[in-house]
Structures are given as structure tokens and as C-alpha cells.
Amino acid sequence: MSYTEVPGIRVPIRMWTDPATVEGQAMQQLRNISSLPWLHGLAVMPDVHLGKGATVGSVIAMKGAVCPAAVGVDIGCGMSAVKTSLTAKDLPDDLSRLRSKIEQAIPVGRGLHTDPVDPRKLHGFQTAGWDDFWQRFDGVASEVKWRRERAMQQMGTLGSGNHFCELCIDETGSVWLMLHSGSRNIGKELAEHHMDVARSLPHNQGLVDRDLAVFIADTPQMAAYRQDLFWAQEYAKHNRAVMMALFQNVVRREFAKAKVTFDEVISCHHNYVAEESYDGVDLLVTRKGAIRAGNGDYGIIPGSMGTGSYIVRGLGNKAAFNSASHGAGRKMSRNAAKKRFTTNDLVEQTKGVECRKDSGVVDEIPGAYKSIEKVIEQQKDLVEVVAHLKQVVCVKG
């Protein structure tokens, strides 16, 4: 579908979904965002739903300003995927051992590595810039510097919530590795620190929603946030790269006879800020629950732990600020899902997937998410499908 334009306060809201299907609170959030005096444009993806501060599935383009709550607390959260030389025929009937090996290699939930992962010991890992990255930690906000050791131990860990590692099969029978994670606790603490600073600034006192507090260009607060923001986005990218290397090592060992090879890894943020220009205007584009989908850009749009995911290629639609959805999107809150569904429902909806099927992940049940197929259908002018994947192993935190 093409977009529907809905009147906003200062700028119109471009929506790649039926506005009538968007929950009232999410629509109000979008109107609140549209009232910001620094806003240049607002695009809404088909996976849109209520978020904290700003709406998930929104692309917020500002001139000379950025809203830390619109980025969210998991700065740089995103996806990575890689196609392997394995096929479905190479997989054993019982995948529980493989799932266990993945969980042993990649700490989940609040877990961390006992000792920081040494990237030089990871097969094929590109270590260029690694030491410089950690040296730049000395420049982040002093309030979080004491978290350095924890940040190093959490590098290469999954986290919880909707984060996952999956082994998938595409329509041709090829096996893929896929994972979803971000900047872990260090990103959260940096985000919360800067959101507190933004709320205290004089120019934000009259906003309709204090969670939409912004930093303005050419101020020390903006400079400090940009430094920490881009460092945290880099942390998230490294975190996924380390996890993918650990994941690949597990697969190499478990399928040693097959001498597994891997294609180039596809990786994309979906909670982040980028400096981009549209119509000759330099903008700070915040994608909260959205991926970059410039012409030819590869991206990953996952469903839920029992449904398919898609590898896509961007079509470069400038009306959407070269963006697309980041996933299926929730259709109900975690609390609502826990009240609505049981572990029996989870077992039923994840048939054929080697994964947790206990009460701790009922809030991640496929029934709590929108139809990934419909979400893909609604953005045909944003991306084209390259591959359709279906998971057979899913590791959750």
C-alpha cells in the first residue's frame, strides 16, 4: 500500500497502515510528536504500536534537535542474520542439543560472560577499531563510567524480552542464523541519564509530553548526548557481531563434518539516530522500531517466536525517509498477553519450534503479535522480499 496522510498538529502524519486500526493511545502519541516545533516529518510503519515516550514503529525526522526518549532505552537495538551452507537435510530430528549449546555459548536474560570475550579468539572476527572503541568509553557520561566492567562482560550477550537467537530455514531449504539484541544495560543507563537531563532543560518545560524532551543543536547537552548515543549504537553493533561469531562457532562444532561456511552477515539497527539529508535539508532521523530501507539496503523484519521472518531489500522511498518496519509489532501488551494466554496456548502456537514453552515467555507468544505477512504486504512500496525464513530453534532470554 501507499501511505495514508493523517492531519497532525504541525506536520501531517504519513501512515503505512490503516489509521483506524491504530490504538487510540498510540495515535495520541503520534499527534504529540507532530506538535514538536523541531519536527520536519513523521512516518509511521505498519507495525506501529504504543511505546514509552514515542510510538514504536515511527520515523521522526528533526532539524537541529533529537529526542532521547524517541530512541528509547535500548539504543542501537537491531538484527543480524547470515545464510549458511547447511540445508534442512543436515539438521537432526532432535534440535534440543543444538539449542542447549547456543544457550551455553551466549548468556541470556541478565547473564553475562565470566570474562570479557576476546574478539581475537573468535573465528574470522574483524577486530579493527576494537581497542579504539573501548578507549572512547572514557568519554561517556561520568554517571555510568563505573559500569565499564559490566559492559565488557555483557558484550556478546542476548538479554531478555523480545531478544532472541534463532536457527531458521528459508523456502529453498537453506539454513540461516538470526539474532536480535542491542546495547544491553550500558545503553539503558546512558539513555536514562540523558532523558533525565533533557526533561530538566528550560525549552522542554511547555511540551505536551515531557517524555518528548529534546536536545537542541550547538548546545553542550546535545554534544554530550550525541557522543554517548553513537558510542552506544556502536556497542550494540559489536554486541550482535560477537554473538553472531559465538553462534557460528557453535554451528561449526555441531556440524563439523559438513564444514559449514557462511555468507556475509546482514545487520541493521532499528532503534537509533542517523544523520541524513532529504530535499537538501540536513536532518537527525530517529527510527524507533524501524529499519533503514534505502535503495538496495538489506534489512531483517522478524515475526514472532512461532512465525516467519523476512530478509528484505530497501526500495528507497523518501516519503518514508528510506525506512521500513522493524518487525510484526505487538497487538497487545505483555500484561495483556499473560492474562489472555496460557502455557498450553504457547505450546500450540510454537509447534515445530525447539524453544522455551514455559510461563516465563508467554508474553512473547505469537498471538500477542500482528500478522507478519500483513505487515510485509502493507509496505510493498518500502521493501522487496529477498527471503522468507521459518525458525526451527528459538533461544529466548
Residues acting as catalytic residues = 326
Rounded CA separation 126/119 (Å) = 8
CB atoms within 10 A of CB 108: 19
Q: Is 85 annotated as a binding residue?
A: no
Any idea what the Cα angle at residue 327 is, between residues 325 and 276, rounded to 5°? 35
Q: Is 53 annotated as a binding residue?
A: no
Q: Is 203 annotated as a binding residue?
A: no
Question: Do 181 and 163 touch, CB atoms closer than 8 A?
Answer: yes
Residue 218 φ/ψ region, left for φ over 0, alpha for ψ in the -120 to 50 degree band, beta for the rest: left
Q: Is 303 annotated as a binding residue?
A: yes
Q: Is 358 annotated as a binding residue?
A: no
Q: Is 309 annotated as a binding residue?
A: yes
Rounded CA separation 285/107 (Å) = 32
Q: Is 163 annotated as a binding residue?
A: yes
Question: Do 297 and 314 touch, CB atoms closer than 8 A?
Answer: yes
Residue 319 burial (C-beta neighbours within 10 Å; 0-12, 13-18, 19+) = middle
Q: Is 320 annotated as a binding residue?
A: no
Q: Is 165 annotated as a binding residue?
A: yes
Any idea what the Cα angle at residue 200 is, between residues 51 and 138, rounded to 5°? 85
Q: Kindly state the DSSP code that residue 264 receives in the 8-state scheme.
A: P
Q: Output phi, psi for 100, to 5 deg.
A: -60, -40
Q: Is 327 annotated as a binding residue?
A: yes
Q: Is 131 annotated as a binding residue?
A: no
Q: Is 132 annotated as a binding residue?
A: no
Q: Is 270 annotated as a binding residue?
A: yes
Q: What is the DSSP string of 36-93?
A: -TTEEEEEEEEEEE--SSS-EEEEEEESSEE-HHHH-SSTT-EEEEEEEEEEGGGS-S
Rounded CA separation 153/146 (Å) = 13
Annotated binding site for GMP: 162-166, 270-271, 302-305, 309, 326-329, 396
Annotated binding site for Mn(2+): 74, 163, 180, 270
Annotated binding site: 74, 162-166, 180, 270-271, 302-305, 309, 326-329, 396
